[in-house]
Chain A
Amino acid sequence: MSGLRLRLKSAPVGRLDLSCLQPPVLTSETAANVARMPFEGGSLGDLFEVSAIGDADTLILAGTTDTCDGIGDHLKSGTIVVEGDAGSYTGRFMKGGRIDIKGSAGNYLGSGMKGGLITVAGSAGNFVGAMTPGEKFGMAGGVIRVGGDIGERAGDRMRRGTIVVKGKTGAMAGSRMAGGTIWAEGGFGPAAGTLMRRGTLIGPKAEQMLATFADCGEHDMVFLRLISRFVAAELGPLAPAALPARVRRYAGDLATIGKGELLLTG
Protein backbone atom coordinates (compact mmCIF):
# COMPACT_ATOMS: atom_id res chain seq x y z
CA MET A 1 0.00 0.00 0.00
CA SER A 2 1.58 3.26 -1.11
CA GLY A 3 0.65 6.81 -0.20
CA LEU A 4 -1.04 9.52 -2.21
CA ARG A 5 -0.55 13.21 -2.78
CA LEU A 6 -3.58 15.28 -3.72
CA ARG A 7 -2.78 18.82 -4.80
CA LEU A 8 -5.61 21.31 -5.31
CA LYS A 9 -5.36 22.72 -8.83
CA SER A 10 -6.68 26.07 -7.65
CA ALA A 11 -7.90 27.61 -4.42
CA PRO A 12 -11.57 26.74 -3.80
CA VAL A 13 -14.05 29.55 -4.35
CA GLY A 14 -16.43 28.47 -1.59
CA ARG A 15 -16.18 26.02 1.27
CA LEU A 16 -14.99 22.56 0.33
CA ASP A 17 -15.91 19.48 2.39
CA LEU A 18 -12.96 17.08 2.34
CA SER A 19 -14.29 14.70 5.01
CA CYS A 20 -14.50 11.83 2.53
CA LEU A 21 -10.74 11.78 1.93
CA GLN A 22 -9.65 8.93 4.22
CA PRO A 23 -6.14 7.43 3.93
CA PRO A 24 -7.11 3.75 4.33
CA VAL A 25 -9.64 4.04 1.47
CA LEU A 26 -7.65 6.20 -0.91
CA THR A 27 -4.20 4.70 -0.43
CA SER A 28 -5.51 1.23 -1.26
CA GLU A 29 -6.21 2.48 -4.79
CA THR A 30 -3.93 3.60 -7.60
CA ALA A 31 -3.55 7.30 -8.29
CA ALA A 32 -5.48 6.90 -11.56
CA ASN A 33 -8.41 5.20 -9.84
CA VAL A 34 -8.48 7.84 -7.12
CA ALA A 35 -8.58 10.60 -9.74
CA ARG A 36 -11.71 8.97 -11.23
CA MET A 37 -13.56 8.78 -7.89
CA PRO A 38 -16.72 10.91 -7.77
CA PHE A 39 -16.43 14.13 -5.83
CA GLU A 40 -18.58 17.28 -5.63
CA GLY A 41 -20.57 16.47 -8.76
CA GLY A 42 -17.45 15.62 -10.75
CA SER A 43 -14.39 13.58 -9.94
CA LEU A 44 -11.45 14.07 -7.59
CA GLY A 45 -9.25 14.51 -10.63
CA ASP A 46 -11.22 17.61 -11.61
CA LEU A 47 -10.05 19.41 -8.49
CA PHE A 48 -6.83 17.63 -7.55
CA GLU A 49 -3.64 16.51 -9.17
CA VAL A 50 -3.27 12.97 -7.80
CA SER A 51 0.10 11.28 -7.56
CA ALA A 52 1.57 8.32 -5.72
CA ILE A 53 4.17 8.79 -2.98
CA GLY A 54 6.43 6.38 -1.12
CA ASP A 55 5.06 6.79 2.41
CA ALA A 56 2.61 3.97 3.00
CA ASP A 57 -0.83 4.76 4.37
CA THR A 58 -0.17 8.49 4.10
CA LEU A 59 -2.36 11.05 2.39
CA ILE A 60 -0.84 14.43 1.58
CA LEU A 61 -3.24 17.28 0.88
CA ALA A 62 -1.42 20.17 -0.78
CA GLY A 63 -2.56 23.65 -1.70
CA THR A 64 -5.36 23.64 0.86
CA THR A 65 -6.81 26.84 2.32
CA ASP A 66 -8.85 27.76 5.37
CA THR A 67 -12.02 26.90 3.43
CA CYS A 68 -11.15 23.20 3.21
CA ASP A 69 -13.32 21.74 5.97
CA GLY A 70 -13.69 18.33 7.55
CA ILE A 71 -10.19 17.02 6.87
CA GLY A 72 -9.68 13.73 8.73
CA ASP A 73 -13.31 13.54 9.86
CA HIS A 74 -13.82 10.27 11.80
CA LEU A 75 -10.25 9.24 10.92
CA LYS A 76 -9.43 5.82 12.33
CA SER A 77 -5.93 5.11 11.04
CA GLY A 78 -3.24 6.35 8.71
CA THR A 79 -1.67 9.77 8.41
CA ILE A 80 -2.92 12.93 6.75
CA VAL A 81 -0.40 15.66 6.08
CA VAL A 82 -1.91 19.04 5.22
CA GLU A 83 0.55 21.17 3.26
CA GLY A 84 -1.32 24.41 3.71
CA ASP A 85 -4.11 25.62 5.99
CA ALA A 86 -7.03 23.54 7.14
CA GLY A 87 -10.57 24.80 7.50
CA SER A 88 -13.06 24.03 10.24
CA TYR A 89 -13.90 20.66 11.77
CA THR A 90 -10.49 19.13 11.08
CA GLY A 91 -10.14 15.78 12.88
CA ARG A 92 -13.74 15.89 14.08
CA PHE A 93 -14.67 12.63 15.85
CA MET A 94 -11.24 11.26 14.96
CA LYS A 95 -10.54 7.91 16.64
CA GLY A 96 -6.96 7.14 15.64
CA GLY A 97 -4.17 7.93 13.22
CA ARG A 98 -2.47 11.27 12.83
CA ILE A 99 -3.08 14.63 11.17
CA ASP A 100 -0.16 17.03 10.66
CA ILE A 101 -1.12 20.54 9.51
CA LYS A 102 1.77 22.62 8.23
CA GLY A 103 -0.27 25.82 8.26
CA SER A 104 -3.09 26.89 10.57
CA ALA A 105 -6.45 25.32 11.39
CA GLY A 106 -9.95 26.79 11.61
CA ASN A 107 -12.67 26.37 14.22
CA TYR A 108 -13.63 23.15 15.99
CA LEU A 109 -10.25 21.48 15.48
CA GLY A 110 -10.47 17.97 16.98
CA SER A 111 -14.05 18.53 18.05
CA GLY A 112 -15.35 15.35 19.65
CA MET A 113 -12.16 13.46 18.86
CA LYS A 114 -11.62 10.22 20.79
CA GLY A 115 -8.08 9.22 19.88
CA GLY A 116 -5.08 9.87 17.67
CA LEU A 117 -2.84 12.88 17.31
CA ILE A 118 -3.29 16.25 15.61
CA THR A 119 -0.39 18.67 15.23
CA VAL A 120 -0.74 22.18 13.88
CA ALA A 121 2.37 24.18 13.05
CA GLY A 122 0.49 27.48 13.03
CA SER A 123 -2.48 28.61 15.07
CA ALA A 124 -6.01 27.26 15.47
CA GLY A 125 -9.41 28.92 15.68
CA ASN A 126 -12.13 28.83 18.29
CA PHE A 127 -13.53 25.76 20.02
CA VAL A 128 -10.46 23.51 19.75
CA GLY A 129 -11.43 20.09 21.14
CA ALA A 130 -14.89 21.41 21.95
CA MET A 131 -18.42 20.16 21.35
CA THR A 132 -20.69 21.60 18.73
CA PRO A 133 -24.14 22.88 19.72
CA GLY A 134 -26.50 20.05 20.59
CA GLU A 135 -23.80 17.60 21.61
CA LYS A 136 -23.20 16.43 25.16
CA PHE A 137 -19.38 16.41 25.27
CA GLY A 138 -16.39 17.64 23.31
CA MET A 139 -13.02 15.95 22.96
CA ALA A 140 -12.92 12.54 24.68
CA GLY A 141 -9.38 11.33 23.98
CA GLY A 142 -6.23 11.78 21.92
CA VAL A 143 -3.77 14.64 21.77
CA ILE A 144 -3.85 18.00 19.97
CA ARG A 145 -0.70 20.11 19.70
CA VAL A 146 -0.85 23.64 18.31
CA GLY A 147 2.35 25.52 17.56
CA GLY A 148 0.82 29.00 17.71
CA ASP A 149 -2.17 30.40 19.60
CA ILE A 150 -5.70 29.06 19.80
CA GLY A 151 -9.00 30.92 19.86
CA GLU A 152 -11.81 31.13 22.37
CA ARG A 153 -13.61 28.38 24.28
CA ALA A 154 -10.98 25.68 23.69
CA GLY A 155 -12.00 22.45 25.38
CA ASP A 156 -15.63 23.49 25.81
CA ARG A 157 -17.28 20.48 27.52
CA MET A 158 -14.08 18.52 26.94
CA ARG A 159 -14.18 15.16 28.69
CA ARG A 160 -10.77 13.52 28.25
CA GLY A 161 -7.61 13.94 26.18
CA THR A 162 -4.83 16.48 26.10
CA ILE A 163 -4.45 19.81 24.29
CA VAL A 164 -0.97 21.36 24.23
CA VAL A 165 -0.57 24.92 22.97
CA LYS A 166 2.78 26.57 22.47
CA GLY A 167 1.21 30.01 22.40
CA LYS A 168 -1.69 31.26 24.48
CA THR A 169 -5.38 30.52 24.50
CA GLY A 170 -8.24 32.89 23.80
CA ALA A 171 -10.94 33.69 26.32
CA MET A 172 -12.73 31.05 28.37
CA ALA A 173 -10.49 28.09 27.66
CA GLY A 174 -11.81 25.02 29.41
CA SER A 175 -15.34 26.38 29.64
CA ARG A 176 -17.77 23.78 31.02
CA MET A 177 -14.89 21.28 30.94
CA ALA A 178 -15.67 17.82 32.38
CA GLY A 179 -12.17 16.31 32.23
CA GLY A 180 -8.90 16.20 30.31
CA THR A 181 -5.99 18.60 30.23
CA ILE A 182 -5.18 21.85 28.43
CA TRP A 183 -1.51 22.88 28.71
CA ALA A 184 -0.88 26.38 27.35
CA GLU A 185 2.80 27.29 27.35
CA GLY A 186 1.93 30.92 26.62
CA GLY A 187 -0.78 31.14 29.25
CA PHE A 188 -4.53 31.54 29.30
CA GLY A 189 -6.71 34.39 28.08
CA PRO A 190 -9.51 35.93 30.16
CA ALA A 191 -11.92 33.85 32.23
CA ALA A 192 -10.21 30.50 31.81
CA GLY A 193 -12.20 27.61 33.23
CA THR A 194 -15.60 29.29 33.19
CA LEU A 195 -18.06 26.79 34.66
CA MET A 196 -15.51 23.98 34.45
CA ARG A 197 -16.51 20.99 36.61
CA ARG A 198 -13.42 18.81 36.38
CA GLY A 199 -10.21 18.74 34.36
CA THR A 200 -6.87 20.51 34.42
CA LEU A 201 -5.61 23.76 32.93
CA ILE A 202 -1.82 24.26 33.05
CA GLY A 203 0.06 27.42 32.10
CA PRO A 204 2.40 30.14 33.35
CA LYS A 205 -0.34 32.76 33.80
CA ALA A 206 -4.05 33.41 33.41
CA GLU A 207 -5.59 36.76 32.53
CA GLN A 208 -8.58 38.01 34.53
CA MET A 209 -8.83 34.90 36.65
CA LEU A 210 -12.36 34.17 37.78
CA ALA A 211 -13.24 34.98 41.39
CA THR A 212 -14.75 31.51 41.61
CA PHE A 213 -11.31 29.84 41.59
CA ALA A 214 -9.86 29.22 45.07
CA ASP A 215 -6.13 29.48 45.78
CA CYS A 216 -4.94 26.11 47.16
CA GLY A 217 -1.27 27.10 47.44
CA GLU A 218 1.95 25.83 45.87
CA HIS A 219 2.38 22.08 45.62
CA ASP A 220 4.58 19.42 44.07
CA MET A 221 2.34 16.69 42.70
CA VAL A 222 3.44 13.36 41.25
CA PHE A 223 0.81 13.77 38.55
CA LEU A 224 2.88 16.62 37.05
CA ARG A 225 5.66 14.16 36.35
CA LEU A 226 3.25 11.77 34.68
CA ILE A 227 1.84 14.36 32.31
CA SER A 228 5.29 15.74 31.44
CA ARG A 229 6.49 12.26 30.53
CA PHE A 230 3.32 11.40 28.64
CA VAL A 231 3.44 14.55 26.53
CA ALA A 232 7.17 14.08 25.86
CA ALA A 233 6.52 10.53 24.67
CA GLU A 234 3.59 11.57 22.48
CA LEU A 235 5.06 14.71 20.94
CA GLY A 236 8.81 14.08 20.94
CA PRO A 237 10.63 17.24 19.86
CA LEU A 238 7.34 19.18 19.77
CA ALA A 239 6.76 18.60 23.48
CA PRO A 240 7.12 21.51 25.90
CA ALA A 241 9.77 21.46 28.60
CA ALA A 242 8.87 19.34 31.61
CA LEU A 243 6.69 21.04 34.19
CA PRO A 244 8.40 22.50 37.25
CA ALA A 245 8.36 20.55 40.47
CA ARG A 246 5.97 23.01 42.12
CA VAL A 247 2.90 24.73 40.72
CA ARG A 248 0.27 27.00 42.25
CA ARG A 249 -3.09 25.26 42.31
CA TYR A 250 -6.40 27.06 41.96
CA ALA A 251 -9.53 24.92 42.35
CA GLY A 252 -12.63 25.79 40.39
CA ASP A 253 -15.00 26.66 38.99
CA LEU A 254 -16.66 26.91 42.39
CA ALA A 255 -19.76 28.21 40.64
CA THR A 256 -20.21 24.53 39.76
CA ILE A 257 -18.82 21.50 41.67
CA GLY A 258 -15.33 23.03 41.70
CA LYS A 259 -13.35 19.85 41.05
CA GLY A 260 -11.38 21.30 38.18
CA GLU A 261 -8.05 23.03 38.61
CA LEU A 262 -5.91 25.76 37.14
CA LEU A 263 -2.22 25.10 37.73
CA LEU A 264 0.04 28.12 37.32
CA THR A 265 3.67 27.32 36.60
CA GLY A 266 4.99 30.87 36.52
Chain B
Amino acid sequence: MTGSQTMQVNGVAIDDTFAEAFGMSGTALIITADSQKWANIAATTMTGFGTSVIGCGAECGIDYEVPASETPDGRPGVRVLIFGFSPDAILPQLKNRVGQCVLTSPGSACYNGLDSAQRLALSAGPRFFGDGWQQSKRFGGRRFWRVPVMDGEFTIEDNVGVTTDAVGGGNLLILGRDRVGLLETAEAAVVAINKLPDVITPFPGGIVRSGSKVGSKYKGAVASTNNAFCPTLRGTTKSELDADTIAVLEIVIDGLTSKAVSDAMRVGLKAVTDIGAAKGVTRVSAGNYGGKLGQHHYHLKDYVA
Protein backbone atom coordinates (compact mmCIF):
# COMPACT_ATOMS: atom_id res chain seq x y z
CA MET B 1 0.00 0.00 0.00
CA THR B 2 1.40 3.37 -0.90
CA GLY B 3 0.17 6.83 -0.18
CA SER B 4 -0.60 9.19 2.67
CA GLN B 5 -3.60 11.13 3.93
CA THR B 6 -3.70 14.50 2.28
CA MET B 7 -7.33 15.35 1.59
CA GLN B 8 -10.47 15.78 3.64
CA VAL B 9 -13.91 15.64 2.07
CA ASN B 10 -16.96 16.14 4.28
CA GLY B 11 -14.95 15.00 7.30
CA VAL B 12 -13.61 11.87 5.59
CA ALA B 13 -9.89 11.55 4.93
CA ILE B 14 -8.95 10.51 1.39
CA ASP B 15 -5.59 8.83 0.95
CA ASP B 16 -3.36 10.13 -1.79
CA THR B 17 -3.14 6.71 -3.37
CA PHE B 18 -4.58 4.74 -6.23
CA ALA B 19 -6.46 1.59 -7.09
CA GLU B 20 -4.39 -0.71 -9.24
CA ALA B 21 -6.46 -2.72 -11.71
CA PHE B 22 -5.75 -5.28 -14.40
CA GLY B 23 -6.65 -5.77 -18.01
CA MET B 24 -9.27 -8.49 -18.41
CA SER B 25 -11.65 -9.90 -20.98
CA GLY B 26 -15.36 -9.39 -20.58
CA THR B 27 -18.63 -10.35 -22.16
CA ALA B 28 -22.30 -9.50 -21.66
CA LEU B 29 -25.49 -11.52 -21.98
CA ILE B 30 -29.14 -10.55 -22.07
CA ILE B 31 -31.22 -13.13 -20.24
CA THR B 32 -34.99 -12.93 -20.70
CA ALA B 33 -37.92 -14.81 -19.24
CA ASP B 34 -41.70 -14.67 -19.01
CA SER B 35 -41.46 -12.25 -16.07
CA GLN B 36 -38.87 -9.97 -14.55
CA LYS B 37 -38.86 -12.23 -11.51
CA TRP B 38 -37.72 -15.27 -13.51
CA ALA B 39 -35.23 -13.29 -15.58
CA ASN B 40 -33.70 -12.15 -12.30
CA ILE B 41 -33.68 -15.69 -10.93
CA ALA B 42 -31.84 -17.03 -13.98
CA ALA B 43 -29.38 -14.12 -13.93
CA THR B 44 -28.74 -14.38 -10.20
CA THR B 45 -28.16 -18.11 -10.44
CA MET B 46 -25.79 -17.92 -13.39
CA THR B 47 -23.70 -15.16 -11.80
CA GLY B 48 -23.42 -17.00 -8.48
CA PHE B 49 -20.01 -18.15 -7.23
CA GLY B 50 -18.46 -15.52 -9.47
CA THR B 51 -16.62 -13.25 -7.06
CA SER B 52 -13.01 -13.79 -8.13
CA VAL B 53 -11.28 -15.35 -11.11
CA ILE B 54 -8.80 -16.96 -8.75
CA GLY B 55 -11.27 -19.24 -7.04
CA CYS B 56 -14.36 -19.07 -9.23
CA GLY B 57 -12.98 -19.07 -12.76
CA ALA B 58 -14.83 -15.86 -13.60
CA GLU B 59 -16.09 -12.65 -12.02
CA CYS B 60 -19.78 -12.22 -12.72
CA GLY B 61 -22.61 -9.92 -11.82
CA ILE B 62 -25.86 -8.34 -12.86
CA ASP B 63 -25.38 -5.09 -14.78
CA TYR B 64 -28.98 -3.92 -15.01
CA GLU B 65 -32.56 -4.97 -15.70
CA VAL B 66 -33.52 -4.56 -19.35
CA PRO B 67 -37.06 -3.41 -20.12
CA ALA B 68 -39.11 -5.68 -22.35
CA SER B 69 -39.13 -3.07 -25.09
CA GLU B 70 -35.35 -3.33 -25.41
CA THR B 71 -34.80 -7.10 -25.37
CA PRO B 72 -34.57 -9.21 -28.55
CA ASP B 73 -37.76 -11.12 -27.78
CA GLY B 74 -39.80 -8.37 -26.15
CA ARG B 75 -39.83 -9.99 -22.72
CA PRO B 76 -38.33 -8.62 -19.49
CA GLY B 77 -34.62 -9.21 -19.23
CA VAL B 78 -31.42 -8.77 -17.30
CA ARG B 79 -27.96 -7.91 -18.59
CA VAL B 80 -25.18 -9.84 -16.92
CA LEU B 81 -21.44 -9.33 -17.26
CA ILE B 82 -18.77 -12.04 -17.08
CA PHE B 83 -15.07 -11.30 -16.74
CA GLY B 84 -12.08 -13.61 -17.07
CA PHE B 85 -8.38 -13.55 -17.79
CA SER B 86 -8.92 -14.14 -21.52
CA PRO B 87 -11.67 -14.99 -24.03
CA ASP B 88 -10.51 -18.60 -23.89
CA ALA B 89 -10.90 -18.59 -20.12
CA ILE B 90 -14.43 -17.14 -20.34
CA LEU B 91 -15.69 -19.73 -22.83
CA PRO B 92 -15.89 -22.72 -20.45
CA GLN B 93 -17.51 -20.47 -17.85
CA LEU B 94 -20.15 -19.44 -20.37
CA LYS B 95 -20.77 -23.03 -21.32
CA ASN B 96 -21.17 -24.18 -17.73
CA ARG B 97 -23.04 -21.21 -16.31
CA VAL B 98 -25.50 -20.89 -19.20
CA GLY B 99 -25.88 -24.64 -19.46
CA GLN B 100 -26.50 -25.22 -15.78
CA CYS B 101 -28.26 -22.03 -14.72
CA VAL B 102 -30.00 -20.41 -17.72
CA LEU B 103 -30.95 -23.40 -19.85
CA THR B 104 -32.46 -24.95 -16.73
CA SER B 105 -34.44 -21.88 -15.66
CA PRO B 106 -38.14 -21.95 -16.66
CA GLY B 107 -39.05 -19.84 -19.69
CA SER B 108 -35.57 -18.41 -20.13
CA ALA B 109 -33.77 -17.31 -23.28
CA CYS B 110 -30.22 -16.05 -23.69
CA TYR B 111 -28.85 -13.48 -26.13
CA ASN B 112 -25.72 -11.54 -26.91
CA GLY B 113 -25.40 -8.34 -24.87
CA LEU B 114 -22.19 -6.83 -26.25
CA ASP B 115 -21.42 -5.41 -29.67
CA SER B 116 -17.90 -6.50 -30.49
CA ALA B 117 -16.13 -7.93 -33.52
CA GLN B 118 -14.51 -10.65 -31.43
CA ARG B 119 -17.01 -13.39 -30.63
CA LEU B 120 -17.40 -16.39 -28.36
CA ALA B 121 -19.46 -19.45 -29.23
CA LEU B 122 -22.25 -18.92 -26.70
CA SER B 123 -24.32 -21.85 -27.88
CA ALA B 124 -21.39 -24.27 -28.26
CA GLY B 125 -22.37 -26.26 -25.21
CA PRO B 126 -26.05 -25.63 -24.45
CA ARG B 127 -27.39 -26.28 -27.93
CA PHE B 128 -26.13 -29.87 -27.90
CA PHE B 129 -28.50 -30.52 -25.04
CA GLY B 130 -31.01 -30.77 -27.89
CA ASP B 131 -29.54 -34.15 -28.83
CA GLY B 132 -30.05 -33.51 -32.52
CA TRP B 133 -33.47 -31.89 -32.17
CA GLN B 134 -32.00 -28.39 -31.89
CA GLN B 135 -32.74 -26.08 -34.82
CA SER B 136 -31.02 -22.93 -35.90
CA LYS B 137 -32.72 -19.85 -37.34
CA ARG B 138 -30.83 -16.94 -38.83
CA PHE B 139 -32.52 -13.54 -38.89
CA GLY B 140 -30.44 -10.85 -40.57
CA GLY B 141 -26.93 -11.23 -39.25
CA ARG B 142 -27.94 -13.05 -36.08
CA ARG B 143 -28.23 -16.79 -35.62
CA PHE B 144 -30.32 -18.36 -32.91
CA TRP B 145 -30.75 -21.91 -31.69
CA ARG B 146 -34.00 -23.45 -30.55
CA VAL B 147 -33.40 -26.27 -28.10
CA PRO B 148 -36.43 -28.38 -27.17
CA VAL B 149 -36.90 -28.59 -23.40
CA MET B 150 -39.71 -29.71 -21.12
CA ASP B 151 -41.48 -26.32 -20.97
CA GLY B 152 -41.18 -25.67 -24.71
CA GLU B 153 -38.02 -24.33 -26.25
CA PHE B 154 -34.86 -22.74 -24.92
CA THR B 155 -33.72 -20.02 -27.34
CA ILE B 156 -30.07 -19.06 -27.33
CA GLU B 157 -28.04 -16.83 -29.64
CA ASP B 158 -25.23 -18.57 -31.49
CA ASN B 159 -22.44 -16.27 -30.39
CA VAL B 160 -21.71 -13.38 -28.07
CA GLY B 161 -19.37 -10.41 -28.24
CA VAL B 162 -16.26 -10.35 -26.06
CA THR B 163 -13.84 -7.52 -25.37
CA THR B 164 -10.22 -7.70 -24.28
CA ASP B 165 -10.34 -4.05 -23.17
CA ALA B 166 -12.14 -4.86 -19.92
CA VAL B 167 -10.70 -3.95 -16.53
CA GLY B 168 -10.90 -5.87 -13.29
CA GLY B 169 -9.91 -4.81 -9.81
CA GLY B 170 -10.89 -1.18 -9.47
CA ASN B 171 -11.44 -0.75 -5.73
CA LEU B 172 -12.26 1.46 -2.80
CA LEU B 173 -11.27 0.69 0.80
CA ILE B 174 -13.63 2.22 3.37
CA LEU B 175 -12.24 2.52 6.89
CA GLY B 176 -13.96 3.63 10.07
CA ARG B 177 -14.86 3.31 13.69
CA ASP B 178 -18.39 1.83 13.36
CA ARG B 179 -18.80 -1.52 11.61
CA VAL B 180 -22.55 -1.19 11.05
CA GLY B 181 -22.23 2.38 9.80
CA LEU B 182 -19.41 1.30 7.52
CA LEU B 183 -21.55 -1.41 5.99
CA GLU B 184 -24.44 1.03 5.42
CA THR B 185 -22.04 3.44 3.72
CA ALA B 186 -20.56 0.72 1.52
CA GLU B 187 -24.08 -0.40 0.58
CA ALA B 188 -24.90 3.16 -0.53
CA ALA B 189 -21.75 3.24 -2.66
CA VAL B 190 -22.65 -0.08 -4.29
CA VAL B 191 -26.15 1.21 -5.05
CA ALA B 192 -24.62 4.27 -6.71
CA ILE B 193 -22.16 2.18 -8.72
CA ASN B 194 -24.84 -0.27 -9.82
CA LYS B 195 -26.73 2.56 -11.50
CA LEU B 196 -23.92 2.81 -14.05
CA PRO B 197 -23.82 0.57 -17.14
CA ASP B 198 -20.95 -1.76 -18.03
CA VAL B 199 -19.72 -2.30 -14.47
CA ILE B 200 -20.32 -4.86 -11.74
CA THR B 201 -19.27 -5.26 -8.14
CA PRO B 202 -18.80 -9.04 -8.10
CA PHE B 203 -18.50 -9.76 -4.38
CA PRO B 204 -21.43 -10.56 -2.05
CA GLY B 205 -23.72 -7.55 -2.12
CA GLY B 206 -20.87 -5.79 -3.90
CA ILE B 207 -18.76 -5.67 -0.72
CA VAL B 208 -15.63 -7.56 0.41
CA ARG B 209 -14.72 -7.89 4.05
CA SER B 210 -11.71 -10.15 3.44
CA GLY B 211 -9.26 -8.18 1.36
CA SER B 212 -6.26 -10.28 0.44
CA LYS B 213 -2.58 -9.92 -0.15
CA VAL B 214 -0.63 -11.94 -2.67
CA GLY B 215 0.95 -15.11 -1.24
CA SER B 216 0.85 -16.88 2.10
CA LYS B 217 3.07 -18.56 4.62
CA TYR B 218 1.35 -21.79 3.60
CA LYS B 219 2.40 -23.66 0.48
CA GLY B 220 -0.26 -23.75 -2.19
CA ALA B 221 -2.21 -20.72 -1.00
CA VAL B 222 -1.99 -18.01 -3.66
CA ALA B 223 -3.56 -15.35 -1.46
CA SER B 224 -4.07 -14.75 2.24
CA THR B 225 -5.59 -12.20 4.59
CA ASN B 226 -4.40 -8.61 4.20
CA ASN B 227 -2.98 -8.39 7.71
CA ALA B 228 -1.99 -4.74 7.30
CA PHE B 229 -5.72 -3.92 7.08
CA CYS B 230 -6.98 -6.31 9.78
CA PRO B 231 -7.96 -4.19 12.78
CA THR B 232 -7.59 -6.99 15.32
CA LEU B 233 -3.93 -7.41 14.33
CA ARG B 234 -3.05 -3.76 14.87
CA GLY B 235 -0.11 -3.73 17.22
CA THR B 236 1.06 -7.18 16.22
CA THR B 237 1.82 -6.52 12.55
CA LYS B 238 2.84 -3.61 10.32
CA SER B 239 -0.59 -2.05 10.22
CA GLU B 240 -1.96 0.51 7.77
CA LEU B 241 -4.78 1.38 10.14
CA ASP B 242 -5.32 4.37 12.38
CA ALA B 243 -5.85 3.94 16.08
CA ASP B 244 -9.63 4.45 15.87
CA THR B 245 -10.23 2.11 12.92
CA ILE B 246 -12.15 -0.99 13.90
CA ALA B 247 -13.27 -2.22 10.45
CA VAL B 248 -12.41 -1.99 6.75
CA LEU B 249 -14.70 -2.86 3.85
CA GLU B 250 -13.70 -3.00 0.20
CA ILE B 251 -15.68 -2.52 -2.99
CA VAL B 252 -14.17 -4.23 -6.03
CA ILE B 253 -15.21 -2.97 -9.46
CA ASP B 254 -15.00 -4.73 -12.83
CA GLY B 255 -15.93 -2.94 -16.05
CA LEU B 256 -16.10 -3.53 -19.76
CA THR B 257 -13.96 -0.42 -20.27
CA SER B 258 -11.49 1.55 -18.20
CA LYS B 259 -13.81 4.57 -18.40
CA ALA B 260 -16.66 2.55 -16.91
CA VAL B 261 -14.46 1.57 -13.95
CA SER B 262 -13.26 5.14 -13.56
CA ASP B 263 -16.84 6.45 -13.53
CA ALA B 264 -17.74 3.84 -10.94
CA MET B 265 -14.81 4.88 -8.74
CA ARG B 266 -16.04 8.47 -8.92
CA VAL B 267 -19.67 7.80 -7.96
CA GLY B 268 -18.64 5.26 -5.32
CA LEU B 269 -16.26 7.69 -3.64
CA LYS B 270 -18.86 10.44 -3.77
CA ALA B 271 -21.46 8.22 -2.14
CA VAL B 272 -19.04 7.40 0.66
CA THR B 273 -18.04 10.99 1.33
CA ASP B 274 -21.65 12.20 1.10
CA ILE B 275 -22.83 10.13 4.08
CA GLY B 276 -19.72 8.52 5.52
CA ALA B 277 -18.76 10.90 8.32
CA ALA B 278 -22.11 10.55 10.05
CA LYS B 279 -21.83 6.76 9.76
CA GLY B 280 -18.43 6.56 11.38
CA VAL B 281 -16.32 6.44 8.21
CA THR B 282 -12.98 8.09 8.92
CA ARG B 283 -10.95 7.35 5.82
CA VAL B 284 -11.02 6.05 2.22
CA SER B 285 -8.06 4.33 0.64
CA ALA B 286 -7.46 2.02 -2.32
CA GLY B 287 -5.59 -1.20 -2.93
CA ASN B 288 -2.51 -1.39 -5.10
CA TYR B 289 0.73 -3.32 -5.57
CA GLY B 290 3.00 -0.34 -5.89
CA GLY B 291 1.88 0.26 -9.43
CA LYS B 292 4.06 -2.45 -10.93
CA LEU B 293 1.52 -5.17 -11.65
CA GLY B 294 -1.67 -3.59 -12.96
CA GLN B 295 -1.93 -1.55 -16.16
CA HIS B 296 -4.72 0.66 -14.85
CA HIS B 297 -4.27 3.14 -12.00
CA TYR B 298 -7.22 5.09 -10.58
CA HIS B 299 -6.00 7.87 -8.31
CA LEU B 300 -8.46 8.87 -5.60
CA LYS B 301 -7.42 12.52 -5.80
CA ASP B 302 -8.78 12.59 -9.37
CA TYR B 303 -12.25 11.83 -8.04
CA VAL B 304 -12.36 14.45 -5.34
CA ALA B 305 -14.47 17.29 -6.66
Contact = CB atoms under 8 A, between A and B. Distances in A.
Contacts of B138: 141, 160
B140 interface: yes
Interface residues of B, number: 18
B182 interface: no
Binding site of A, secondary structure by majority: helix, strand, loop or mixed? mixed
B155 A226 contact: yes
A236 to B, nearest CB: 14
B137 A226 contact: yes
Interface in B193-232: none
A68 B212 CA distance: 76
Nearest to B154: A222
B135 interface: yes
A219 interface: yes
B127 interface: no
A223 B140 contact: no
Interface stretch (B52-60, B68-76, B249-257): B68-76
Contact of A230 (B75, B135, B140, B155): B140
Q: How large is the interface on A (under 10, 10 to 19, 20 to 34, 35 or more residues)?
A: 20 to 34
Contacts of A102: none
A220 B109 CA distance: 13
A141, A160, A219, A225 — most chain B CB neighbours (10 Å) = A225
A160 B143 CA distance: 11
B137 A221 contact: no
A222 B139 contact: no
A226 B135 contact: no
Interface string A178-192: 010100000000000
Contacts of B22: none
A141 B140 CA distance: 8
Interface string B99-127: 00000000001000000000000000000
A265 B146 CA distance: 19
A162 B139 contact: yes
Nearest to A162: B139
B65 interface: no
Interface in B69-98: 72-75
Given A223-B144, A225-B73, A181 B137 contact: yes
Contacts of A141: 138
B178 to A, nearest CB: 49
A223 B155 contact: yes
A223 B74 contact: no
Given A229-B72, A229-B73, A222 B153 contact: yes
B146 A221 contact: yes
A104 interface: no
Contact of B137 (A200, A219, A233): A200
A170 to B, nearest CB: 24
A179 B145 CA distance: 13
Contacts of B75: 222, 225
Interface of B: 32, 72-75, 109, 133, 135-140, 144, 146, 152-153, 155
15 contacts: A162-B139, A200-B137, A219-B152, A221-B146, A222-B153, A223-B144, A223-B153, A225-B73, A225-B74, A225-B75, A226-B73, A226-B144, A227-B139, A229-B74, A230-B140
Given A222-B152, A227-B139, 5 more contacts: A179-B136, A223-B146, A225-B75, A226-B72, A226-B137
